[in-house]
């Protein structure tokens, strides 16, 4: 029966026509009707004859007293043809899919004729599994994994040979040779949670097909019916080495619909023969089907309208699930009964056709074990309820996604129905955005691993740019997941949970030839592919290669596996083993070996940095604790700019948020400051000691009012030194979020800003100012050049409009305005003009990926573009800062600076990179950077393994 599917008829329609053969060749569908009617007349004759024979047989049998049907049923006027189709359908209903094999294939079913064999020479290869004799237990612990020196030969879309020094003489003449120059080679990355193609970028209403919102339970919709192969994000994702994605419907619905595994080779430019979603299917034979389900906040928020429709609560959601499964179960039972009866008595005795119902067909297939379920569930009640459903209706779940709480409830996971415990498909450290994401841990991956579960890192593209899903895995490693498990989390593990573990995710003979060669260790900061192959075809014609020398793979650092406790506040502490200080004014003495420096802190103050022999003795006498570091670093504290830290705790919970100004209300951040929150605690312990935060305008990076400069570790705003800048800068918004009630268009928003500034120029205005904290008073400071004007804006065109306004106001005021940009996705297009106007840019995010129309011309980096915005701005001489576009990024600020460093082609130094998250922000705003804080790191803070071991204030050190 699988032939039907191989013919290209969709397996999801069990009412599909049976295959008809004429002279041994498969017949085109339009010819089927004629052939079918011919068959029918022959069949009717056959059935008539059969009936006559049966009657004769029954009478003979009755006369012999043999058991049998006492009332033999006749064909109740039903079409025998259709009954036969029904019987064929029974075989499909009973079919138990198996994982498709890899080895033994002559060619990859996706192979396009004419593509040449390729030899990738001199690579450092990660096979993706432990060497031969390693036991399963040892392999889980990481034994038997290694980077090996090898060549990889690929032909007919398959990996043929992985061996050192493959002889050219043994290969076909037309083999393409590609020299890896010793660089690291892995399987293509697999993202098990993507909406690329259905949530195309840039976001446009006309292109949004993520959720079928007409009903909460839509198992009958299919993502393949909406996948737009021309979504530019597919190519961006591929430029991060991602070759395969599971494209899921969104999580608005409890049951969202069927999902499809696609590869990112699209159309002729990528070596395909056609431009279609069908052609993108990773497994053209469609052995497995996939379905998205979701529990928790989304469905009740989207559908819950009291008195009109549900579900309104998690209780209602569970009922919606159970009722849906009950429907499907009923269909399955009726079908099974029919098929069993048809087998027993023959179709000619059936009194009705096979029960079929397209609405419940796919969910029936779930209950038949033909569909891999991926369910979005955050919280313990969600997980527990869903596990309960799996046992009530007897279906397995492959993975819980957004599974922020799975690490807390191993016993619940173990209770899930089936042989395979569900994996957790998670982000590394993205949390806090809604109540169910408020409980989360960056150590979840490690904890799950330690409990014997599998962690898979996913993007939820475009929630996270899937181009960098590998960076999620890298941070998984940073937070304690072993190196081999972190690599597996985006290669072999998702492959396994997709049922494609013999096809993708490893570099072995018989696997599909999906390969990425990296410019640096794949788990290092800023790693980018230099080339990517899908089914053996190189995907980038003219890839941009960053200026990075070939480096050795990371040597896994087992100390990362120790989860640090809560910071302890002390006054006296000694750190030894320091290699380098990046703290301005405290540079390391010239001749020191690695780790030979000591930092002595007494009474909260740095007493000594260097060899510090006398101070060490003194500290030892006083029994001060000594922390010995491996490769220690000292830096200044970091600053969060552009976030909502201090004004917001959970994005989607209004009660936890200062609230949006939405138009008229211009306010001061200091008046809304709410300190001592969980988010601020995290900021502080990750070295972000200060923040500059303005009230939000509406969504995204939009801001309106004055920003407050404060210390993240303060208990309240009255604490000494808590607020170091009451009104650091004046913020307005010219992003798309500016379009609202008071300014319905971008032009009116630009006009309103110009008009307000020009008004502030006239001296009569000054006389009218009675409230020195009013908008007018602050604008007066802006036009005098005393306070910076920070504008949230992404579009290069709107930045151009802003630069014109700046000139016009400067001409009227006869002063120079200090203007800065927050956002700046397209700022690289006007880099020279920004430099001329001395306008600084705080990139938020550092790496835009064109999610909205105003960001669509963002540079996404190598191998697609020559650098990103930061490179163009630095090259033009613009002062650049790195801001936060979402607050959870707080843990990653130093890593983002690391990306600017590593991918800067040697143009940025370590010190300059760290200035992007500290000093440059102050330079851009024209204010003094508050001093007195320092950070102690184990490892380089700009690299994946660097972690904070001490956060020093002026009176104490929080020791981690
Ligand atoms: C492989 O690459 C390394 C690093 O670039 C180089 O030193 C070595 O000579 C290369 N070996 C061969 C056989 O090309
Ligand atoms: C990339 O841009 C830099 C300048 O920022 C230039 O020197 C280099 O030649 C460019 N590389 C390519 C491949 O275009
Ligand atoms: C490449 O980077 C190195 C430092 O890593 C630098 O010395 C060199 O000038 C850079 N080369 C180019 C072409 O930019």
148-191 pLDDT per residue, tens:
999 999 999 999 999 999 999 999 999 999 999 999 999 999 99
How much is the pLDDT for 245?
Answer: 98
* Alpha carbons 545 and 867: distance in angstroms, whole number: 10
* Residue ranges of E strands in 844-899: 880-882
* Alpha carbons 388 and 462: distance in angstroms, whole number: 31
The H or E element containing residue 423 is: strand 423-426
Residues 6+ apart with CB under 8 A from 788: 728, 729, 730, 782, 818, 819, 820, 924, 925, 926, 927
Burial of 718 (0-12, 13-18, 19+ CB in 10 A): exposed
* Alpha carbons 879 and 838: distance in angstroms, whole number: 8
pLDDT beyond 50 at 285: yes
**From the CA of 164, which ligand is nearest?**
1
Q: Which residue CA neighbors atom 12 of ligand 2 most closely?
A: 866
How much is the pLDDT for 763?
Answer: 75
Q: Please tell me whether residue 191 adopts helix, strand or coil conformation.
A: strand
* Alpha carbons 733 and 738: distance in angstroms, whole number: 6
Q: Which residue CA neighbors atom 2 of ligand 3 most closely?
A: 906
**From the CA of 551, which ligand is nearest?**
1
pLDDT beyond 70 at 70: no
* Alpha carbons 691 and 711: distance in angstroms, whole number: 6
Q: Which residue CA neighbors atom 11 of ligand 2 most closely?
A: 866
* Alpha carbons 530 and 544: distance in angstroms, whole number: 7
Q: Which residue CA neighbors atom 1 of ligand 2 most closely?
A: 866
Q: Which residue CA neighbors atom 5 of ligand 3 most closely?
A: 906
For the CA of 871, the nearest atom of ligand 2: 5
* Alpha carbons 134 and 150: distance in angstroms, whole number: 20
* Alpha carbons 459 and 471: distance in angstroms, whole number: 10
Q: Is 47 in the pocket of ligand 2 (CB under 6 A)?
A: no
Burial of 41 (0-12, 13-18, 19+ CB in 10 A): exposed
Which has more confidence, 613 or 46?
613
Among residues 622, 628, 582, the alpha carbon closest in space to that of 602 is found at 622
Among residues 505, 498, 524, 483, the alpha carbon closest in space to that of 193 is found at 498
Mutate to test the pocket of ligand 1, among 182, 183, 548, 549 (most ligand atoms within 8 A of CB): 182
Give every strand in the sheet of 688-693, ordered side by side.
Answer: 638-641, 688-693, 708-711, 723-725
**From the CA of 121, which ligand is nearest?**
1
* Residue ranges of E strands in 216-294: 242-247, 255-263, 289-294
* Alpha carbons 254 and 272: distance in angstroms, whole number: 35
Q: Which residue CA neighbors atom 3 of ligand 3 most closely?
A: 906
For the CA of 907, the nearest atom of ligand 2: 5
**From the CA of 903, which ligand is nearest?**
3
**From the CA of 906, which ligand is nearest?**
3
How much is the pLDDT for 46?
Answer: 54
239-271 pLDDT per residue, tens:
999 999 999 999 999 999 999 999 999 999 999
Residues 6+ apart with CB under 8 A from 251: 211, 292, 294, 298, 299, 376, 402
Q: Is 866 in the pocket of ligand 2 (CB under 6 A)?
A: yes
Q: Is 721 in the pocket of ligand 1 (CB under 6 A)?
A: no
How close is the Cα of 878 to the center of ligand 3, in Å? 20
Q: What is the DSSP string of 784-795?
A: TTSSEEEEEE--
| Lowest-confidence segment of 593-597, 739-743, 835-839 by average pLDDT | 593-597
Q: Which residue CA neighbors atom 14 of ligand 3 most closely?
A: 905
Residues 6+ apart with CB under 8 A from 417: 387, 390, 391, 394, 395, 396, 397
- Two structure tokens written together for 26: 């498969």
How close is the Cα of 362 to the center of ligand 1, in Å? 52
**From the CA of 901, which ligand is nearest?**
3
Mean pLDDT within 412-417 = 98
Please provide residue 719's backbone torsions phi and psi, each rounded to the nearest 5 degrees: -60, 145
Mean pLDDT within 498-527 = 98
Q: Which residue CA neighbors atom 14 of ligand 2 most closely?
A: 866
Average pLDDT value over all residues in the chain: 92
26-47 pLDDT per residue, tens:
333 333 333 334 344 454 455 5
The H or E element containing residue 162 is: strand 158-163
Residues 6+ apart with CB under 8 A from 924: 788, 820, 840, 841, 842, 879, 881
How much is the pLDDT for 675?
Answer: 98
Q: Is 875 in the pocket of ligand 2 (CB under 6 A)?
A: yes
Q: Is 906 in the pocket of ligand 3 (CB under 6 A)?
A: yes
How much is the pLDDT for 57?
Answer: 53
How much is the pLDDT for 74?
Answer: 54
**From the CA of 179, which ligand is nearest?**
1
* Alpha carbons 633 and 642: distance in angstroms, whole number: 27
Q: How many other C-beta atoms are found inside a 10 Å radius of the C-beta of residue 278?
A: 14
456 secondary structure, DSSP code? E
Q: Is 181 in the pocket of ligand 1 (CB under 6 A)?
A: yes
pLDDT beyond 50 at 15: no
Q: Please tell me whether residue 537 adopts helix, strand or coil conformation.
A: strand
Residues 6+ apart with CB under 8 A from 150: 123, 125, 162, 163, 164
* Alpha carbons 2 and 886: distance in angstroms, whole number: 47
87-112 pLDDT per residue, tens:
999 999 999 999 999 999 999 999 99
Residue with tokens 């400071």: 781
**From the CA of 908, which ligand is nearest?**
3
pLDDT beyond 90 at 594: no
* Alpha carbons 788 and 792: distance in angstroms, whole number: 13
Q: Which residue CA neighbors atom 12 of ligand 1 most closely?
A: 122
Please provide residue 746's backbone torsions phi and psi, each rounded to the nearest 5 degrees: -65, -40
Q: Is 909 in the pocket of ligand 3 (CB under 6 A)?
A: no
* Alpha carbons 356 and 16: distance in angstroms, whole number: 12
Beta bridge partners of 891: none
Q: Are strands 840-843 and 819-823 parallel, antiparallel or unpaired?
A: parallel
Which has more confidence, 4 or 409?
409
Q: Is 550 in the pocket of ligand 1 (CB under 6 A)?
A: yes
As a whole-number percent, the residues of the chain with pLDDT over 90 amount to 87
Mutate to test the pocket of ligand 1, among 147, 181, 184, 530 (most ligand atoms within 8 A of CB): 181
pLDDT beyond 80 at 53: no
How much is the pLDDT for 766?
Answer: 73
How close is the Cα of 876 to the center of ligand 2, in Å? 13
Mean pLDDT within 648-669 = 94
The answer to whether 458 and 191 have CB atoms below 8 angstroms apart is: yes
Mean pLDDT within 404-413 = 97
pLDDT beyond 80 at 512: yes
The answer to whether 482 and 142 have CB atoms below 8 angstroms apart is: yes
How close is the Cα of 542 to the center of ligand 1, in Å? 22
286-328 pLDDT per residue, tens:
999 999 999 999 999 999 988 888 899 999 999 999 999 999 9
* Alpha carbons 559 and 556: distance in angstroms, whole number: 9
Among residues 282, 270, 286, 275, the alpha carbon closest in space to that of 235 is found at 270
* Alpha carbons 61 and 64: distance in angstroms, whole number: 5
The answer to whether 490 and 457 have CB atoms below 8 angstroms apart is: yes
Q: Which residue CA neighbors atom 3 of ligand 1 most closely?
A: 182
Mutate to test the pocket of ligand 2, among 544, 832, 835, 866 (most ligand atoms within 8 A of CB): 866
Mutate to test the pocket of ligand 3, among 519, 906, 908, 913 (most ligand atoms within 8 A of CB): 906
Which has more confidence, 474 or 56?
474
User: How many Cα atoms are found within 13 Å in the side-chain-facing hemisphere of 525?
Assistant: 21
The answer to whether 261 and 283 have CB atoms below 8 angstroms apart is: yes
Q: Is 547 in the pocket of ligand 3 (CB under 6 A)?
A: yes
- Two structure tokens written together for 383: 């997980």
706-720 pLDDT per residue, tens:
999 999 999 999 999
How close is the Cα of 548 to the center of ligand 2, in Å? 14
Q: Is 589 in the pocket of ligand 3 (CB under 6 A)?
A: no
Residue with tokens 């006027």: 77
Residue with tokens 């593990």: 493
How close is the Cα of 49 to the center of ligand 3, in Å? 87
User: How many Cα atoms are found within 13 Å in the side-chain-facing hemisphere of 190?
Assistant: 32
pLDDT beyond 70 at 490: yes
Q: Which residue CA neighbors atom 8 of ligand 3 most closely?
A: 906
Q: Which residue CA neighbors atom 3 of ligand 2 most closely?
A: 866
How close is the Cα of 841 to the center of ligand 2, in Å? 21
Domains with residue ranges and CATH for the chain: 1-78 (no CATH), 189-558 (3.20.20.140), 567-637+933-960 (2.30.40.10), 639-932 (3.20.20.140)
The answer to whether 74 and 346 have CB atoms below 8 angstroms apart is: no
């Amino acid at each position: 029966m699988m032939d039907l599917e191989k013919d290209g008829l969709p397996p999801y329609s069990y009412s599909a026509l049976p295959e008809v053969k004429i002279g041994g060749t498969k017949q085109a569908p339009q010819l089927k009707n004629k052939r079918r009617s011919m068959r029918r007349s022959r069949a009717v004759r056959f059935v008539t004859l059969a009936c006559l024979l049966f009657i004769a047989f029954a009478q003979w049998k009755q006369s012999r007293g043999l058991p049998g049907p006492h009332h033999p049923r006749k064909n109740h006027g039903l079409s025998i043809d259709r009954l036969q189709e029904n019987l064929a359908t029974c075989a499909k209903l009973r079919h138990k899919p198996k994982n498709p094999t890899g080895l033994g294939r002559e060619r990859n079913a996706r192979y396009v004729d004419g593509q040449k064999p390729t030899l990738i020479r001199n690579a450092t290869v990660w096979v993706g599994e432990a060497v031969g004799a390693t036991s399963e237990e040892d392999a889980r612990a990481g034994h038997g994994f290694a980077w090996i020196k090898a060549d990889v030969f690929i032909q007919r879309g398959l990996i043929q040979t992985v061996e050192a020094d493959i002889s050219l003489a043994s290969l076909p003449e037309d083999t393409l040779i590609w020299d890896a120059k010793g660089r690291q080679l892995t399987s293509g990355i697999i993202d098990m949670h993507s909406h690329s193609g259905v949530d195309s970028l840039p976001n446009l209403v006309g292109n949004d097909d993520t959720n079928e919102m007409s009903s909460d339970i839509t198992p009958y919709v299919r993502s393949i019916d909406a996948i737009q192969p021309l979504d530019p994000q597919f190519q961006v994702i591929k430029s991060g080495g991602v070759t395969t994605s599971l494209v899921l419907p969104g999580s608005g619905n409890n049951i969202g619909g069927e999902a499809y595994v696609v590869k990112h080779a699209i159309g002729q430019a990528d070596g395909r023969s056609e431009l279609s979603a069908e052609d993108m299917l990773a497994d053209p034979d469609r052995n497995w089907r996939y379905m998205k389900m979701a529990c928790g906040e989304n469905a009740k928020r989207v559908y819950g309208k009291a008195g009109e429709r549900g579900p309104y609560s998690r209780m209602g959601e569970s009922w919606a699930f159970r009722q849906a499964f009950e429907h499907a179960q009923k269909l399955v039972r009726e079908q099974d009964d029919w098929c069993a009866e048809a087998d027993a008595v023959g179709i000619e005795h059936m009194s009705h056709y096979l029960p079929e119902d397209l609405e419940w067909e796919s969910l029936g297939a779930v209950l038949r074990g033909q569909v891999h379920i991926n369910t979005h569930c955050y919280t313990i009640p969600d997980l527990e309820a869903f596990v309960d459903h799996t046992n009530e209706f007897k279906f397995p779940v492959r993975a819980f996604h957004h599974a922020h709480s799975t690490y807390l409830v191993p016993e619940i996971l173990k209770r899930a129905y089936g042989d395979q415990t569900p994996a957790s498909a998670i982000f590394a450290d993205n949390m806090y955005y809604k109540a169910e994401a408020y409980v989360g841990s960056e150590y979840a991956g490690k904890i799950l691993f330690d409990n014997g579960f599998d962690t898979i890192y996913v993007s939820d593209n475009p929630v996270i740019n899937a181009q960098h899903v590998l960076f999620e895995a890298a941070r998984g490693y940073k937070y304690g997941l072993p190196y081999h498990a972190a690599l597996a989390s985006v290669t072999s593990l998702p492959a396994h949970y997709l049922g494609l573990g013999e096809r993708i995710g490893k570099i072995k003979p018989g696997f599909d030839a999906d390969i990425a060669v990296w410019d640096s260790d794949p788990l290092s900061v800023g790693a980018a592919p230099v080339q990517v192959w899908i089914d053996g075809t190189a995907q980038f014609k003219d890839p941009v290669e960053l200026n990075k020398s070939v480096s050795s793979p990371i040597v896994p650092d087992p100390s990362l596996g120790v989860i640090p406790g809560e910071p302890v506040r002390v006054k006296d502490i000694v750190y030894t083993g320091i290699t380098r200080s990046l703290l301005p004014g405290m540079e390391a003495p010239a001749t020191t070996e690695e780790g030979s420096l000591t930092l002595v802190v007494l009474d909260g103050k740095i007493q000594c940095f260097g060899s510090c022999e006398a101070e060490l003795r003194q500290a030892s006498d006083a029994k001060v604790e000594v922390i010995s570091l491996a490769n220690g670093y000292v830096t200044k504290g970091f600053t969060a700019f552009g976030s909502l830290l201090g004004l917001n705790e959970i994005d989607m919970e209004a009660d936890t948020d200062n609230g949006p100004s939405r138009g008229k209300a211009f306010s001061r951040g200091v008046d809304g400051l709410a300190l001592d929150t969980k988010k601020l605690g995290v900021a502080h312990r990750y070295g972000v000691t200060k923040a500059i935060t303005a009230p939000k305008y509406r969504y995204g990076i939009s801001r309106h009012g004055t920003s407050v400069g404060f210390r993240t570790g303060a208990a309240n705003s009255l604490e000494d030194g808590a607020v170091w800048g009451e009104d650091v800068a004046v913020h307005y918004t010219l992003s798309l979020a500016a379009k609202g009630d008071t300014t319905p268009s971008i032009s009116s928003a630009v006009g309103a800003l110009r008009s307000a500034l020009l008004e502030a120029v006239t001296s009569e205005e000054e006389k009218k100012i009675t409230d020195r904290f009013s908008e007018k008073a602050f604008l007066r400071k802006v036009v005098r050049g005393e306070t910076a004007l920070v504008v949230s804006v992404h579009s290069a065109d709107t930045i151009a409009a802003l630069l014109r306004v700046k000139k016009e106001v400067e001409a009227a005021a006869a002063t120079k305005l200090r203007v800065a940009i927050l956002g700046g996705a397209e700022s690289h297009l006007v880099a020279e003009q920004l430099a001329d106007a001395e306008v600084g840019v705080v990139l938020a995010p550092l790496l835009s990926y064109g999610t909205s129309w105003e960001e669509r011309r963002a540079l996404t980096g190598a191998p697609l573009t020559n650098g990103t915005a930061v490179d163009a701005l630095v090259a033009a001489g613009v002062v650049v800062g790195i801001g936060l576009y979402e607050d959870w990024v707080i843990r990653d600020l130093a890593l983002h600076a690391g990306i600017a460093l590593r991918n800067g082609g040697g143009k940025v130094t370590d010190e300059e990179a760290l200035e992007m998250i500290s000093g440059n922000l102050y330079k851009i705003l024209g204010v003094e950077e508050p001093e007195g804080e320092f950070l102690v790191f184990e490892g380089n803070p700009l690299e994946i393994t660097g972690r904070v071991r001490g956060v020093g204030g002026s009176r104490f050190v929080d020791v981690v």
